[in-house]
Amino acid sequence: MNVASVSPWQRLWGGYVRWSTRYPALASLVPFVPVVALWAAVAQSGLFPPVFFPGPLVVIEKFGTLMANGILPAYLEDSVVRLAVGTAMGLSIGIPIGLLVGLSDRAHRALWPVLLFFQAIGDIAWLPILLIWFGFGLVTMTFVIVYTVLFPVVLNTVLGVRSVPLELHRAALSLGASKARVMWEVVVPGALPNIMTGLRNGLGFGWRALIAAEIIVGTSGIGFLMFDARRAGSVVEILLGMIVLGVLWYVVDSWVLAPIERATGERWGLVTR
Amino acid sequence: MKSLTIEHLQKTYFDPFAAKQVTAIRDISLTVDAGDFVSVVGPSGCGKTTMLNLIAGFLAPTGGEIRVDGRAVSGPGPDRGVVFQSFALFPWRTVLDNVAFGPKMRGVPKAKRHEIAREYLALAGLAHAAERYPNELSGGMQQRVGVVRALANEPDVLLMDEPFASVDAQTRMTLQEELTRIWAQRRPTVLFITHDVNEAVFLANRVIVLSQGAVLDDISIDLPRPRSWDALIEDARFKALAGRVLQQVRAA
């Protein structure tokens, strides 16, 4: 039997685990160090012309310029507001439909096949007809986002409602709850972890759909920025747009979605992390 | 005083796959006095859980009548508290808010209903767990919460559906002793469904044996209280009564 000694690698890893626990921002940033390093190395190597494959420094410089002249903040705001409005509308339509279909066998029989049918017609597949109906504008973009957010929310809410044990309904009723109270006290909280999953998926798909809609329809926004840059042949701006997309999703996830999930389903033991 | 009256209760199901009626409850008549503790035992499939679901109002009978304190039962209601085998605590509410749920539905103000809940939690030795969530408690503790949640609503009848069947054997004995203590203090009317003959005899003043949807026997349990397993496990009268009930259940 050998007495285990601590290797330098274990010492390094231990240090990382301790520091990143103390400063969670480190845990978000450090994994990107090798990615950026690889990017910089490939750009430096001269394998590709700098116009096709610019390095990190050029992109950061571009970020500074676009922030300073106000284009990036304005476009970012446009995209985020579109996504937020579309998501809010998708949730306020999707959750009631999900509750209805989840609770009523009749509604389930009548609506489920229709829901599955329309879910299959992807968001982008609606664009041709929407452009004819509503033209190149906000209505078309909002429709696409609402549509994209709606289905994951409805389908997951239905699953959530149906996963609430019958005994919890019965317990609430025999403690004196009316059917309306059971909805609010049992069905909604019981379905909440699934509704969160629906929101997470819906936001993810919605974000992609928004960029696609902005590329085709847009007059502003991150998607428009990237497509406009293609016209000008500016790879730097395209890369910047891609990075902004990734960072924004990370922020939404860790500042909005994850805290809600920690305070609800995970706290209640309904989902395991 | 009669608290619970069941007259010629009958329940048949239509089985769409076999295309025939299935009888769960053939004919049950039964009265339970206010403040009494009655156990119902029988082999699986004898109709005991169906009977409890009918009394609770979760199912509608196909014949006969159930009255609680003189009123006919026509659905679930706070006059009949239910303790479930699966505990059925609300995972999104703290222990305190689970117990305060019934009073909340009655419109009792927050301070008052929390006071009620704390009083009942203390009764079950759970004062320290008030702020925790159900998933942070052991099975035995969860079912203690289930029992006091039903009691805190002060029902006319407490219906218990094999409440201790899913906890370990040692905890079960402790819970049974605690239940007899709480019953002696508060004297709720209890109908306790179980398949465990020893449990039925240990807890009750009366044991009803069900067989194929009808009452096979009605046995009076005149063991002294307070009861404890230490005293009763080798007690000749307890053994004789449990033996008699077991014989009936096995014949059922």
Question: What CATH number has the domain bearing residue B227?
Answer: 3.40.50.300
> Is there a domain that residue A68 lies in?
no
pLDDT on residue A262:
87
What whole-number percentage of chain B has pLDDT above 90? Answer: 88
Smallest CA–CA distance, residue B156 to chain A, in Å, is 12
Tell me if B117 is assigned to some domain: yes
Task: Quote the pLDDT of residue A88.
Answer: 94
Local confidence band at B1 (pLDDT 50, 70, 90 cut-offs): low
* Whole-prediction pTM: 0.87
Final residue of a structural domain among B154, B175, B198: B154
Give yes or no: residues B106 and B73 share one domain: no
Among candidates A171, A173, A267 on the partner chain, residue whose Cβ is nearest the Cβ of B133: A267
Closest Cα in chain B, distance from residue A166 (Å):
9
Average confidence score pLDDT of chain A: 90
In a shared domain, residues B182 and B230? yes
**Per-residue pLDDT at A52 exceeds 70:** yes
Taking only residues 211 to 250 of chain B, the set having a beta carbon closer than 8 angstroms to any beta carbon of chain A reads none
Residue A176 lies in a domain: yes
pLDDT beyond 70 at A250: yes
Of the listed ranges A74-78, A233-237, A268-272, the one predicted with least confidence: A268-272
Is the pLDDT at A122 greater than 90? The verdict is no
Q: Which residues of A110-119 are buried (b: 16+ CB within 10 A; e: fewer)?
A: ebeeebeeee
Whole-number pLDDT of residue B44: 87
Asked if pLDDT for residue A271 goes beyond 90, the answer is no
Whether residue B162 sits in one domain with residue B72:
yes
Q: Are residues B107 and B29 in the same domain?
A: no
- Does one domain contain both B109 and B186? no
Given a cut of 80, is residue A156 above it in pLDDT?
yes
Query: For the segment B148-194, what is each residue's pLDDT rounded down to a tens digit?
Result: 999 999 999 999 999 999 999 999 999 999 999 999 999 999 999 99
Label each residue of chain A as H, E or C.
CCCCCCCHHHHHHHHHHHHHHHCHHHHHHCCHHHHHHHHHHHHHHCCCCCCCCCCHHHHHHHHHHHHHCCHHHHHHHHHHHHHHHHHHHHHHHHHHHHHHHHHCHHHHHHHHHHHHHHHHCCHHHHHHHHHHHHCCCHHHHHHHHHHHHHHHHHHHHHHHHHHCCHHHHHHHHHCCCCHHHHHHHHHHHHHHHHHHHHHHHHHHHHHHHHHHHHHHHCCCCHHHHHHHHHHHCCHHHHHHHHHHHHHHHHHHHHHHHHHHHHHCHHHHCCCCC
* Any domain includes B45: yes
Residues B42 and B103 grouped into a single domain: no
Mean pLDDT of the B10-18 span: 89
Asked whether residue B178 falls in the same domain as residue B246, the answer is yes
What pLDDT is stored for residue A273 in this prediction?
54
Whether B143 has a pLDDT exceeding 90, the answer reads: yes
Tens-digit pLDDT profile for residues B72-106? 999 999 999 999 999 999 999 999 999 999 999 99
- Residue A261 domain-assigned (yes or no): yes
Boundary-marking domain end, from B154, B182, B205: B154
Percent of chain B with pLDDT over 70: 99
Q: Which domain holds residue B62?
A: 2-79+156-251
pLDDT of A224 strictly over 60:
yes
Residue A176 has pLDDT above 90, yes or no: yes
Q: Note whether ipTM > 0.85 here.
A: yes
Tally of domains in chain A: 1
Asked if residue A90 belongs to a domain, the reply is yes
Q: How far is B29 from chain A (nearest CA, A)?
A: 23
Is B171 part of a structural domain of the chain? yes
Kindly state the percentage of chain A with pLDDT values over 70. 98
Average pLDDT over residues B107-131: 95
Q: Which residues of A touch B108 (CB under 8 A)?
A: none
Residue of B nearest to A192 (CA): B92
Q: Identify whether residues B135 and B177 lie together within a single domain.
A: no
Which residues constitute the domain of residue A91?
Answer: 77-268
- Pairs of residues, one from chain A and one from chain B, whose beta carbons lie less than 8 Å apart: 74
pLDDT bin (cut points 50, 70, 90) of residue B24 is very high
Q: What is the chain A residue with the closest CA to B151? A: A175
pLDDT of residue A2: 60
Q: Which pLDDT score, from 0 to 100, does residue A174 have?
A: 97
Residue B84 lies in a domain: no
pLDDT confidence tier of residue A191, bands split at 50, 70 and 90: very high
Same domain, B186 and B244: yes
- Has residue A249 been placed in a domain? yes
In a domain, B118, yes or no: yes
| A21 assigned to some structural domain | no
Residues A196-217 have a mean pLDDT of 89
Domain membership flag for residue A64: no
**pLDDT at residue number A243:** 93
Number of structural domains in chain B? 2
B10 and B112 part of one domain: no
Query: Are B163 and B63 found together in one domain?
Result: yes
Task: Assess if residue B125 is contained within a domain.
Answer: yes
Average pLDDT score over residue span B206-215: 93
Q: Is the pLDDT reported for residue A3 higher than 70?
A: no
Position B176 scores a pLDDT of 96
The domain boundary residue, chosen from B130, B154, B178: B154
Q: Looking at the structure, tell me whether residues B119 and B228 fall in a common domain.
A: no
Kindly state whether B139 is in contact with chain A, defined as any CB-CB distance less than 8 angstroms. no
- CATH number of the domain to which A187 belongs: 1.10.3720.10
Least confident of A48-57, A116-125, A194-203, B141-150: A116-125
| Partner-chain contact B88 A177, CB within 8 Å | no
Q: Is the pLDDT of residue A16 over 80?
A: yes
The verdict on residue A212 lying in a domain is: yes
Residues A98-112: what's their mean pLDDT? 93
